[in-house]
Every structure is written in structure tokens, then in C-alpha cells.
Amino acid sequence: MGSCLTKCHHGQQEETRPDDRYTTDNTRADSNRVQDPEFDENLRQKSRHRADGDGDRGKGWRRKSSGLSRFSQDGRHVIQPPFTVGAFNIQKFGMAKLSDKETLQLIARLVREFDILLVQEVVDVSGKALNILLEEVNSGQSSQGSGLYEVLASPRVGRSSHKEQYAIFYKSTLVQIKNSEVYHDPGDIFIREPFLVSVSVNTVSPVGNEFCLVCIHTQPTSANKEIDRLVDVQKHVKDTWNMDNIIILGDLNASGQYIKSRDWETNRLRGAEYNWLIADHVDTTATNTLAAYDRIIVSGPMMDVVVPNSAQVFRYDQVYQLDQDILKKVSDHYPVCFSLETLAHPKIQKNITTRMIISVEDKRFITSPPDQFLDEFSLKQYKARGLYAKDGQLTVIEVRSQRISNLSKVVSTVEALRKYDRSLVSYSVLASIKHQVNFVMKSWEKKLLEEEKGKFQVLIQVDVEEKKIVCSLLINT
């Protein structure tokens, strides 16, 4: 038995099916649903042409359009993928590193993984390395396809002859740079002053479409002091730029020998208003150091549009199946990243339903024969129906509750089903649903109540073929 929490987007058709081969009550499935290989798509008839008398396609017939593709233009899709923000310390990034063609191509590929990416430890004095990388990133790209990138580089910062730059690579079709500056750093606390960049993103939900990046690469030996002082940098951004949405990101050296557990007890950036998306136990290094040096901290209302569980260390060597020698050529760090929720095109927003699903799978099965169970099922608040294969065999039984307006009533609704038939809802399934509702769903409850659109529904799917039961909680938001 297992459970999962996902957030999905659906079109106008609200119901989902366990398998598109199935039909309801032994009738043919909706023509809008994908079926067997011989599935025949809906056709739309032009006004002057008809099909032949025997039903063959006449002149002028064509596939039925979704009506949505006409809105995909100017580099923007109907439903834009989640907006990805990343930070990557590319060890000693300069001309020497880019002289290796394979390394250059790999770094360019990594940049294209993100919609906006902070690159740290740019040590190139000539200023050519960033332009070479940008050219490689955009090589073969199209402004009408995945979008071209631009780069914004900070002035060189540092106290000694060794100075570094921060560089922001961003997709120009999505991101607009509004303002940027190097933090003035009263008291000279930071060895490399943070680079502040305010941006606007045209596809992100309004609560989070404007934010400021606080780019930082701390000095390891003074990491705790610099991390603590980032609270003052945040206050400067709020007071000077009138921005509440702030993302602090970069190589904070916030782990290992540079930060002790007792340091966190007094560090102001560990306050409740700061959301550390990369946890203390996560390894962000590409070596055997095992430390959470690279971090992302989010504050402000935009936390409401951070995609749940999207924050991660991007272990590109595993994704791209690279060996350790190539990994060492790039950096001793991995990129860290997270995603923001995006909007559908405003002209078709009304056709989109957002649904979150908590799903618990149980390998145990009902005790009574499926056909008998379906015939005899009778329980207030629930309706049952059978889904049949083309040969008339019962394949899935769906038991669906009425709409539930209050999250607190969900558990009691599942409990009623367990009282009716303990083999349909085991104690383990009930306990799993309780856990998800009490702990995971609490973070969504405020949003659901504010929007006054919370519609909950319990769905039990009895898979006759695979002999398993799936209990799901559907939430339309």
C-alpha cells in the first residue's frame, strides 16, 4: 500500500477513468476519450460538405479542433509548464573551463533546464565567458519555440584580487528584469556583496509573478554571520523596492564545518517567516563532502504558488547518465531549484479545472464477488457504477461520494464506507487518508477556504482485473 499527493490540470471533462478501454454500463465510451488503436477521432463538418451516404468521410471533413491551440502564440503556450528557478555554483567559471567543448555544451544544456538561473563563481576577467556560454545556450533555439535566453551580470565583487560575478540567465520571452543593484553592505559584512535583481514573470500566478532574487555566495569561514545579515538585506529590498516576495539563493555554505547546529538557534534567517526549501540534510555537493551548502529561502505571499515538493537538487549526472570525470569538469556543486505555479492563457482559463488528488492504493480486495457487490451496493452519500470492457466483462467498480463542502467531513465520509464494508476500506487505507488530510492538506485548507471553491469528493476504484482497490480524495480548486 502506498500514498501520493499530486496536483494536476484537467480540461472541461471533470471525471477520470482508470483505463480508457473501459465503457460504462456496457456502452461505448465517450468519443472524446482515447480508446483502442482503432479509435476514430471526432470529425467536424464544414457547412458546404457532407459525408457520403454510407458514412464515409466527405470532402471538407477534418479532425475536431480543441479550440485551444489558436491561443498558443508569441512564445506562450496555452498551459505553460511550471516556472523553474535555479542556482548553480559553477566552480571557477571562466575561459579555461569553456575551452573544453564537451563541458561548454553540458553547461549550456543545464542552463536550458531552467527559466531563470543564478550562476555563481564567475571569475572570468575578460568578460567573454558569459557571452560564449549565452551563444551556446541559444544555439539552435527559437524565440517561437522554447525561447531565447539573455544574461545579466553583476559588477565584480570581492575584497581581494580574487573577485567574482553573479550572472542571471533568463528566458527573455517569460522574464522581464525590472531593477538590479549590488547591496551597499553597511559595515562590510559580506565578502561578496549580494546582487539584488527584481523580476516580473508573465506566466506565474499573480501572487508570485513579481519577486526579487537575492543572489549570494558567502565566505565559508563567516557563513553564519553573513546568513544572519541576509535578514537586513531582505528588509532593504522591502523598504527600498516595496517588494514582499523575496528569494534568497546561492551557495550559502550553510552546512558542514561552517555551520554548527547551535548557530541556527540564534540565526535570524531561521525565523518562521523564512521558508528553507532545501533542507539541512540534503547533499548539494557533487563530491563526497555530503553537505547542504546551496540553499533557496523564500519569503512573502509567493509561497502560496510554490509547487509542492518541487524544490530539489538537480543531479544531472544521473539524469544525463554521465560519468564522474565529466561531472568534475563542470563543478563540485549541483544546481538547486524549485518551481512556481503558472497560469493558463486567460482566454481559456474558464476551461481549466485544477484538481489535487490524494491516492492510497491497497493490494487487498473485496470479499464478495464483484458483480454481486455492484448489484447489492446501497449506501447514503455514495453511488456505485460498473465499467465494462468491450466483451461485457466487469473491469472496474467506481464508488463515488457526493460533493463534500468541508475538509473536516472527509474522514467521516470514508469512515462511513468502512463501516459499510471493511474489505472495501481497510484500516490502513483509512489511517493513510487521515494522515494526509490532517498533515498534508492543512497547508491547502486556507487557500481553499479563501477562494470558497473547495469541492471534495471520495472515489473508490475497485480494479477487478488487477485485484486491487484505490481510495482517492479529489479536490477541485
Residues noted as catalytic? 164, 217
HEC states along the chain?
CEEEEEEEEECCCCCCCCCCCCEECCCCCCCCCCCCCCCCCCEECCCCCCCCCCCCCCCCCEECCCCCHHHCECCECCECCCEEEEEEEEEEECHHHHCCHHHHHHHHHHHCCCCEEEEEEECCCCCCHHHHHHHHHHCCCCCCCCCCEEEEECCCECCCCCCEEEEEEEECCCEEEEEEEECCCCCCCCCCCCEEEEEEECCECHHHCEEEEEEEECCHHHHHHHHHHHHHHHHHHHHHHCCCCEEEEEECCCCHHHCCHHHHHHCHHHCCCCEECCCCCCCCECCCCCCCCEEEEEECHHHHHECCCCCEECCHHHHHCCCHHHHHHHCCECCEEEEECECECHHHHHHCEEEEEEEEEECCCCCCCHHHHHHHCCCCCEEEEEEECCCCCEEEEEEEECCECCHHHHHHHHHHHHHHCCCCCCHHHHHHHHHHHHHHCHHHHHHHHHHCCCEEEEEEEEECCCCEEEEEEEEEC
